[in-house]
Amino acid sequence: MDINEFRTAAKTAIDEIADYHENVASKRVVSDVQPGYLRPLLPHSAPLDPEPFDAIRADIQDKIMPGITHWSSPGFMAFFPCSSSYPAAIAEMYSNAFNGAHFNWICSPAVTELETIVLDWVAQALGLPECYTSGGSTHGGGVLHGTASEAILTVMVGARDKYLTAKIAHLPDGEEKEEETWRLRSKLVALGSAGAHSSTKKAAQVLGVRFATVPVYEEDGFAMKGEHLAKTLDELKAKGLEPFYLTTTMGTTDVCAVDDFASIATTLQDRIAAGATEIFVHVDAAYAGSALLLPENQHLTQPFTHFHSFNFNPHKWMLTTFDCSATFVRSRADLITALSIKPPYLRNQFSDNELVTDYRDWQIPLGRRFRSLKLWFVLRSYGIRGLQAHIRNGVSLGESLEAKLRSRTDLFTVFTPARFALVSLRVNGKDEEDVNRRTEEVYERINASGEFYLTSTVVADKFAIRVGTGVAAVREEHVQKVFDALVREAERL
């Protein structure tokens, strides 16, 4: 493909992408193809000779589109949003044009410096404490990872090394220190609540450390409380184990619960005052963190001054295409000490003299994409007020659905009230077993229709339907339609 063919093909692709977004509401939300559908439609091997671009483009419509689940559809109310926008899509085009690995400042100075600036903008917009900004008092700052799971693994690596260093600081260098390090490593425990995302357990699995769960209870709104954390820590210490890391959550995957950050901070500070080694605390706000753009939610960030890192995904609810996961640390040294690498081929005068930030030392992979460009485009194209309006729309639609459900108490029970554009519900029945059965049947029938895509959860043995209203295309008419579908299927039972 030469430059002229590229111009023609790219313009055609833009038109087709625009048409797709314009008509996505008319498509079945979830693909209904069968597993293995694609292989019989494609050749057994790659072509030896070039094919015309029109043939490739035709296959997008005929072969790929049938296997796509449409996350931007107003009928997509599953999981959490994986949002997009035209400014972000355009930024991706520029990012692809400036293709590179961008691991050092010198690899593309604009890539590094824009990331630092944009993440400072975001930290301020979310109301994070100043210690999470690049110029803050604790030498913290932000970095863009691919996903929240990657962020949790990365900060857990830093937490492990930080904890071990503190525990063996009193020992002289030598064999005794090394043996104690390995003994302690075998005792390390990472913690998360029963509602924490599975990425914490997976990160512990990758690092080869133990994982323990802090219980949560329905009467607390499934939020982790300081008292239950304290009990779990005492039980672990009584077994001779070393809790070193904790994931707290703002907006759990199951029901969007928010942990009691204040009581958790108090519990951990009291233990430090009593001589315990500091536990690294991470705030996982992968989805709900975008709601901190609203001033009425920013009181939640006050205890974060006592924590160590915070992460949220602009690619979920902030109109920024996947992947774009913003991680903020109170001290950049926590990551750099654990992850810094300095082989000769990566050295240069700017890095050696510590005049610049090298984000390769803030992440596990070496190479990195120009992710900050799309975040910059989105922030400038919508402005903070425009993004706030988008978030408020999702929140108000969730509250609208909750009100509708409460108007039919003969059919439904609101399991957890609307919070951050997520509401969960159950269908009434004569006992818990019947409620679970009916709720699951309604859930499966609605998804089978193809007009909506919902997801479910099981919390404390209770099956519930989750409905998210954060997708940008969702309007009141779609909330009414999904409510009508719920009523129709519940009445049928």
pTM for the full model?
A: 0.94
**CB-facing half-sphere around the CA of 150: CA atoms within 13 A:** 16
Tell me, what amino acid is at 390? H
CATH C-level class of 100-368: alpha beta
- How large is the C-alpha radius of gyration of the chain? 25
Partnered with residue 462 across adjacent β-strands are 459
Calpha distance 270→274 (Å, rounded): 6
Mean pLDDT by 10 residues, the chain (493 residues): 92 94 94 95 95 94 95 94 92 92 88 96 98 95 96 97 94 92 96 95 97 95 96 96 97 95 97 94 97 97 97 97 96 93 77 81 91 96 98 97 97 96 97 97 95 95 96 97 97 93
End-to-end Cα distance, the chain: 58
**Cα–Cα distance list, 198 to 149, 192, 254, 423, 440 (Å):** 9, 9, 11, 21, 23
Indicate the SS3 state at residue 242: strand
Indicate the SS3 state at residue 176: helix
What integer pLDDT is reported at residue 29 of this predicted model?
A: 94
**Cα–Cα distance list, 455 to 81, 139, 158, 303 (Å):** 12, 41, 34, 32
**Cis preceding-peptide flag for 323 (omega within 30 of 0):** yes
Write down how long the chain is.
493
Contact of 118 with 320, CB cutoff 8 Å: no
What integer pLDDT is reported at residue 356 of this predicted model?
A: 86
Contact of 201 with 222, CB cutoff 8 Å: no
Paired sense of beta strands 210-214 and 462-468, if any? unpaired
What integer pLDDT is reported at residue 101 of this predicted model?
A: 86
Strand stretches in 306-421, DSSP E? 309-312, 325-329, 412-419
- Domain residues of the chain, as ranges? 100-368
Calpha distance 321→429 (Å, rounded): 41
Tokens of 155: 């900060």
What integer pLDDT is reported at residue 256 of this predicted model?
A: 94
DSSP code of 355?
-
What integer pLDDT is reported at residue 252 of this predicted model?
A: 95
What is the longest distance spanned by two Cα atoms in the chain? 73
Count Cβ atoms within 10 A of the Cβ of residue 170 and give its class: 0-12 exposed, 13-18 middle, 19 or more buried. Answer: exposed
What integer pLDDT is reported at residue 487 of this predicted model?
A: 97
Who's near 361: CB < 8 A, 6+ residues apart?
A: 335, 336, 339, 340, 341
Tell me, what amino acid is at 392? R
Q: CA-based angle 121:127:133, to the nearest 5?
A: 50
Render the burial of 338-375: b for 16+ CB within 10 Å, e for the rest.
Answer: bbeeeeeebeeeebeeeebbbbbbbbeeeebbbbbbbb
